[in-house]
Amino acid sequence: MSDNQDETQTMDLNITFLRSRRGIVKVAEMVTLFVAFVCFAVTSVPEYIVVTVFEFLITLFLLLLHLLKFNKKLTLFFWPLVDFFNSTFAAVYLIVVSLIVLTTHTVAGVLIGGVLCLISATLHGVESYTLFKNLTFNKRRNEGQNQANR
């Protein structure tokens, strides 16, 4: 056996992303979506369960993408733009869902889930805004910063 076969492959984790503002917002989004999912599951409202699970999985995928540094390896997509579109559409979609929930249901569990969806929509909106501010689109960082300072 050669030495190359004995070596184990290790994966580097981007722990600094979890400590960054975007990482904290992503984890907060996932927590609010999971608790909203639990509230909807307990009260047996399947249409809202699907919404929260689907958005939870997308957010989990994007979080793992950054944690495992796959966004640097998979260069087919411009990941900040994908993340921006996901955050924008999720914010709008969750606002609509939470408003429907809050206006049509009276069960306490469903209402709590609707409020948590509204909080998650706010977090997605904050993430969308910060991503939009950071997107450069082929400008050097100095140009974007100089134009922002004017």
Note whether residue 116 is domain-resident.
Answer: yes
Note whether residue 63 is domain-resident.
Answer: yes
Distance (Å, whole) CA 111 – CA 118: 11
pLDDT digits (tens, 9 = 90+) for 58-79: 999 999 888 888 877 777 878 8
Please give the average per-residue pLDDT across 45-50, as a whole number: 90
Note whether residue 1 is domain-resident.
Answer: no
Please give the average per-residue pLDDT across 91-109, as a whole number: 93
Note whether residue 100 is domain-resident.
Answer: yes
Full-model pTM: 0.80
Note whether residue 106 is domain-resident.
Answer: yes
Cα dihedral across residues 99, 100, 104, 109: positive or negative: negative
pLDDT digits (tens, 9 = 90+) for 122-140: 999 999 999 888 887 666 6
Task: Report the C-alpha dihedral over residues 75, 26, 111, 50, rounded to 10 degrees.
Answer: 30
pLDDT digits (tens, 9 = 90+) for 15-37: 888 888 888 999 999 999 999 99
Domain count along the chain: 1
Note whether residue 147 is domain-resident.
Answer: no
Question: Range of 36's domain?
Answer: 14-135
